[in-house]
Amino acid sequence: MYDPNNIFAKILRKELPATCVYEDDHVLAFKDIHPAAPIHVLVITKKAYSSFDDFSACANEQEIVLFWQGVYKTVQALRLSLQGYRLVTNIGTDGGQEVPHLHVHILAGKPLGTKVCV
């Protein structure tokens, strides 16, 4: 079940502030409050999906395409393609997901090594 009172839902409704770096009709991208890299941005869907797992099971093809296009448009807005970056999405308890609203972490700004945890 999707919890409409999660922190990212409140950011979407402008009930909480966030430093936006990209927005379109389908996604909002903003700086992570606890950055794990010099550039640490979260891309969230504007739809009510609790995780990548929920999204993959329930979203239609257009929603899936538009979300991932939004992730890439955020990458382009941040000009990260040349130097590179990492995408992470945590899912559920063992995945370490804290906020139950679909989001992808974009990490960049230094060599990130081979450890994949955020």
Contacts of range 47-51, beta carbons closer than 8 Å, 24 or more positions apart: 47/102, 48/2, 48/4, 48/9, 48/101, 49/2, 49/101, 49/102, 50/1, 50/2, 50/3, 50/100, 50/101, 50/102, 51/89, 51/91, 51/92, 51/97, 51/100, 51/102
Out of 40, 101, 103, 105, the active site residue is 103
Is the separation of the CB atoms in 54 and 98 below 8 Å?
no
Residues from 29 through 88 that contact ligand DGP (CB under 6 A): 30-34, 42
Site stretch for ligand DGP (CB under 6 A), options 27-35, 57-65, 70-78, 108-116: 27-35
Shortest distance, CB of residue 96 to ligand DGP, whole angstroms? 5
Residue 58 CB, shortest distance to ligand DGP, in Å, is 19
Q: Is 101 a catalytic residue?
A: no
Which range of residues in 21-29, 57-65, 74-82, 90-98 is near ligand DGP by CB under 6 A? Answer: 90-98
**Contact residues: ligand DGP, CB under 6 A:** 7, 16, 18, 30-34, 42, 90, 96-99
